[in-house]
Structure 1
Amino acid sequence: MRRAAVLGHPIAHSLSPVLHRAAYADLGLASWRYEAVDVTEDALAAFVAGLDSSWAGLSLTMPLKQTVLPLLHHVEPLALVVGAVNTVLIQGAGASRVLTGANTDVHGIVAALAEGGLTRAGRAVVLGGGATAASTLAALAQLGCPSATVLVRSQARAGGLMRAAHRMGVTPVFRSLDEAAARLGGADVVVSTLPPHAADTLAATLDGTPRGVLLDVAYDPRPTALQAAWERAGGVAVGGERMLLHQAAEQVRLMTGRPGPVGAMSAALEAVLAA
């Protein structure tokens, strides 16, 4: 048996088991198992130390994406500069075990934006200053935009994002989130990394007609208020579940060595969300 799991706290809401199990079924990996495990920051080191040779990998959600860094033997360059690991690959066991950290969120963002027709970014706006915002800056740099405007509630609390931007060699411009309504309309791409419902007030105050692609990483409710308002105004909006799908497909590839079956995973995800 080969095992993998998503870790976080809380974790009961996670859709990762739906995605990974659908992938295993489609790929014929009958001996693979995937579960959700509630693990706090304080308990992560002990959990990782107890992994045996049946484990192939871990998916990590908040608040563990930074906590895991000192527990790893290697961190892939992209995850290192972003400062967030959402995937751990496990090779060997015991004293010979090697843990490698990777980041598939960047891949997920790029692929989700491509579904909205965006393969090149000029003017970009990012809402929020957390770990997902750092992955977003890396994704936008891959799409040709190294100087996105980042709108945050407090620049004093965005130090981690500023340091990540410096490591990446990108030069975002930080502004107040209060300016969002006036800045979104002229952007080629807008990525909201705000928590669910945090952009609801903004959705009611959109200024002008959106001409770009919106990715709202929140997906509960679906559509979000921001996504619905964007589409009513004539813009193209992509739901956060598409980012979730593509980052999980890349995790499947890394853990199993087989391409993640996006179609089968998407069908399973849509079935759960529709229910």
Structure 2
Amino acid sequence: MIPGVMSAVHVRPNALKMPPSYAIASVDHALKLAIVLQLEGSLTVTAAAERLGVARSTAHRLLQMLVYRDFAVQDDDRVYRAGPVLGPAAHPPSRTAELRAAALPHLQRLSAALDESVNVSILSGDTTRFIASVECQRVLGVTTREGMVFPLHRTTTGMLRLASLSDPDLLEYVERHADTRRSGRRALLRDVAQVRRAGFALNVERSEKGLVAIGVPVSWVGSGLVTGLSVSLPLVRYDERQLDRYVALLRAASAALSRDLRGHAAHATSF
């Protein structure tokens, strides 16, 4: 087993994400709230409404349904928290919430600079979980990744993690998770080698057909979270000649976010 990577979460390793033909907004909203509760620990009705972009009455009904089904509980102070169905989160909720709050201003600036959708994700077991996204304003763009979960080898943050492993641990992961065909294993090892050389990850249709992502690591020493910052865009708009620009802007945003996170940690320890 890869050190620090659990195998309790099982995701179909070769399944691309495909949005449903007839999405049900209320179900999607409820699932998003459940994910936020598990990752961040608590929500008020007002905060839930803001996160979903819906009326407070709608957010209240969604949260009440989560309580009814034990996905949430409500405290005496009327704050909603993760219920018994969700179980303990893989990461300290306070750290995840802190990361999301610190990342959002950087995501907004980065999305404006690139005119594309951008994301922050963390490792969760042997998967990557997206905890914050800012969508671009283009008609043809990548929708929010927030709350979505993929195997490591399907995301840029996961590929960065795989690139940091020793060769034996990497080979073990490849045998357990990569495409069962020999060509799939060779392709993954080739891509990981490229990540090691370049210091960033390029994901061409690994997570979704027609989607390209470019990602860099975010340094947050002592947090216990392995974090990555990425831009996602349609394959038809990807221009390889712009790759250096994408990476430079991502690295600048990552460095700025890392500084903010260190500043938050220093401020917290001063009290």
Q: Do Structure 1 and Structure 2 share a fold, with TM-score over 0.5?
A: no
Higher helix share: 2
TM-score (norm: length of structure 1):
0.28
